[in-house]
Amino acid sequence: MKQIINNLRQNTLENITLFLVLLLTFLLPISKKPVPLTIILLAVFTIILLIKKKSFNKIKLTGIHIGLIVLYILYAIGIIYSENIKAGLFDIEIKMSFLALPLIMAALTQFINKDFYNKILSAFVVGMTVSVIYSFIRASYNYFQNRDISEFLYAKLSSAFHPSYFSMYLNFAIIILVYKIFANQNSYKLSKKIFLSFLVLLFFTTIILVNSKAGILISIISVFILLLQQLFKLKNKLTAISFIILCALFIIFVWSKVPTVKHRFLVSIAALEKYKLEKNINPEEGTVQRIVIWKHSVKAIKEKPLFGYGTGDLHETLDKHFKEGKFFHGITTHLNCHNQYLQTAVCIGITGLMVLLFILIALFYKGFRLKEPIIIFFALIISLHFLFESMLETQAGIIFISFFISLFGILKKENTNSLKAESF
Longest dimension (CA), the chain: 83
**pLDDT reported for residue 117:** 94
Listed residue (114, 105, 111) closest to 407, CA to CA:
105
Q: Report which residue type is found at 167.
A: S
What are the helix (H) ranges across 79-189? 85-94, 97-107, 114-146, 154-157, 163-183
Could you write out the DSSP letters of every residue in 344-386?
HHHHHHHHHHHHHHHHHHHHHHHHHHHT-HHHHHHHHHHHHHH
Tell me whether residue 166 is exposed, middle or buried, using C-beta atoms within 10 angstroms of its C-beta: 0 to 12, 13 to 18, 19 or more.
buried
What are the helix (H) ranges across 184-237? 190-210, 213-233
182 and 234 Cβ atoms separated by less than 8 Å: yes
What's the full length of the chain, in residues? 424
What are the helix (H) ranges across 211-337? 213-233, 238-257, 259-278, 286-303, 314-324, 328-333
With a CB cutoff of 8 Å and minimum separation 6, the contacts of 134 are: 30
d(CA 398, CA 380): 16
Tell me, what DSSP letter sits at residue 414?
G
> Other CB atoms closer than 10 Å to residue 376's CB: what's the count?
23
Which is it for the CA torsion 396, 89, 406, 16, positive or negative?
negative
Report the b/e string of 379-405 with b at 16+ CB within 10 A.
bbbbbbbbbbbbbbbbbbbbbbbbbbb
35 and 395 Cβ atoms separated by less than 8 Å: yes
pLDDT, block means (10 residues), the chain with 424 residues: 48 91 97 95 93 79 94 95 92 95 93 91 97 94 86 83 93 94 81 90 91 87 84 68 76 72 75 73 78 92 94 90 84 87 96 97 95 95 95 94 96 63 42
**pLDDT reported for residue 416:** 59
In a 3-state reduction of DSSP, which class is residue 167? helix
With a CB cutoff of 8 Å and minimum separation 6, the contacts of 359 are: 64, 67, 68, 71, 405
What count of Cα atoms within 13 Å lies in the side-chain half-sphere of residue 235?
A: 1
**pLDDT reported for residue 5:** 46
With a CB cutoff of 8 Å and minimum separation 6, the contacts of 340 are: 356, 385, 386, 387, 389, 390, 391, 392, 393
Angle at 79 (CA atoms; ends 357, 329), nearest 5 degrees: 75
pTM of the model: 0.91
Tell me whether residue 68 is exposed, middle or buried, using C-beta atoms within 10 angstroms of its C-beta: 0 to 12, 13 to 18, 19 or more.
buried
Which is it for the CA torsion 187, 193, 197, 200, positive or negative?
negative
**pLDDT reported for residue 235:** 61
